[in-house]
Amino acid sequence: MSWLSKRPSFKATKGALIYFLGFYVLVQFVWWAFMLVELNAEIYNLKLEMLSVSDLVGPEQLIQKAELDQKLTLRIWMVLGEGAVFVFLLLLGFWAVHRSISNELNVAEQQKNFLLSITHELKSPLAAIKLQLQTLNTRELPEEKKLQLYKRALADTDRLENLVENLLLVNKVESGGLPLNKETINFSELLTSQIRTTYSKELEEGRLKTTIQDGIRAEIDKMAIQSIVINLIDNAIKYGGGSEVIVQLSAQDTHSIDFSVSDQGEGIPNSEKKKVFERFYRRGSEDVRQTKGTGIGLYLVKLLVEKHDGTITIQDNKPTGARFVVRFPAAT
């Protein structure tokens, strides 16, 4: 068993030790508080005995006893009050430790999944490109076959380029090094042109359909919008199970416009709808997942949408599937 495979169990053991230590401290504190109350009671009884054999008489003894009762009550409440504050802080510390350990385990799992997926995403197109070039170099092929291999190699190269661009773009956006160059443009024309250029095959085969309202203008960054569109459509194609993907653009009112991408796949459970926008998050285990991806596409989309002062939500498509809806402010 490798060291990496042992890490989660080591972290779980470390978490269990921390919880055990906290529980031990809590038990010891309760015992300390009990002993302190008992000690105050013994002191009270001792002073009460001394008072009973003193020279004080009648009312003076009653006054002294009342003062002793008041002091005992005050000390007991002081112990209980300070104890309650201590227990509260201790429980708060337990919660913080538990949350920290859970976050650490989640991040470790996400990083593991990302390394597995990114390795696969890099290795597969590289292996395909190498095979295609070797075939072209070692065999005499008809021109039609050569052209087909060239196109496949270019497609795999584009896949690698898009992957690297997404990684670089995420890093730039997170570090604040990507100022948007917003300009008021015809969003309808930009979207139509981009889809026809990037998804001509899907349009011809009827696997992608569009409903784009004419003349919609928005103040957007062209490069960022292209990344949003490609990532959302690619996501719908990958997880749609071969179903029809529908892209829509419409003006909701004078202040906002909606861009949506719908598929008819398995859909996304409500418990997952926020998680899919987290960095490196992918549903299921990377060891058994067959769908290509790195878990940064939707995370990047969310970052870029927020940069445009927009929002993105996931709705259930009818009868099945998911519908991603991006709402942008309309151009003023």
**E strands in the chain:** 183-186, 208-212, 217-220, 245-251, 256-262, 311-316, 322-329
Q: What is the pLDDT of residues 32-85, one digit of tens each?
A: 878 887 887 888 777 777 767 666 556 776 777 777 778 878 887 887 788 788
Domain boundaries, the chain: 3-112, 117-174, 183-329
| 194: its two tokens | 């981009």
Q: What is the pLDDT of residues 264-305, one digit of tens each?
A: 888 888 888 888 888 767 665 444 345 555 667 888 899 899
Q: What confidence tier does 327 reach under pLDDT thresholds 50, 70, 90?
A: very high
CATH class of 117-174: mainly alpha
- Give the pLDDT score at 282: 65
Examine the pLDDT at 16 and tell me if it is beyond 50: yes
Examine the pLDDT at 324 and tell me if it is beyond 80: yes
Examine the pLDDT at 181 and tell me if it is beyond 60: yes
What is d(CA 242, CA 260) in angstroms, rounded to the nearest whole number?
Answer: 18
- Give the pLDDT score at 285: 45
Q: How many CB atoms lie within 10 A of CB 125?
A: 21
pTM for this model (two decimals): 0.59
What is d(CA 250, CA 218) in angstroms, rounded to the nearest whole number?
Answer: 12
* DSSP annotation of 265: S
What is d(CA 90, CA 84) in angstroms, rounded to the nearest whole number?
Answer: 10
- Interior angle at CA 56, CA 55 and CA 61, nearest 5: 145
Q: What is the pLDDT of residues 234-246, one digit of tens each?
A: 889 888 888 899 9
Q: What is the CATH number of domain 183-329?
A: 3.30.565.10
- Give the pLDDT score at 146: 87
* Percentage of residues in the chain having pLDDT higher than 90: 15
Fold match between 117-174 and 183-329? Answer: no
| 267: its two tokens | 């859909």
Q: What confidence tier does 257 reach under pLDDT thresholds 50, 70, 90?
A: very high
CA torsion sign for 195, 198, 203, 208 is negative
What is d(CA 18, CA 98) in angstroms, rounded to the nearest whole number?
Answer: 9
What is d(CA 321, CA 269) in angstroms, rounded to the nearest whole number?
Answer: 10
How large is the C-alpha radius of gyration of the chain? 33
Please name which of 225, 217, 226, 167 lies closest in space to residue 199, comparing C-alpha atoms: 226
- Residue 211 β-bridge partners: 248
Q: What is the pLDDT of residues 101-143, one digit of tens each?
A: 777 777 777 677 667 667 777 787 888 889 888 888 888 888 8
> Given phi > 0 = left and psi -120 to 50 = alpha, else beta, which region is 242?
left
Q: What's the distance, CA 24 to chain centroid?
A: 34
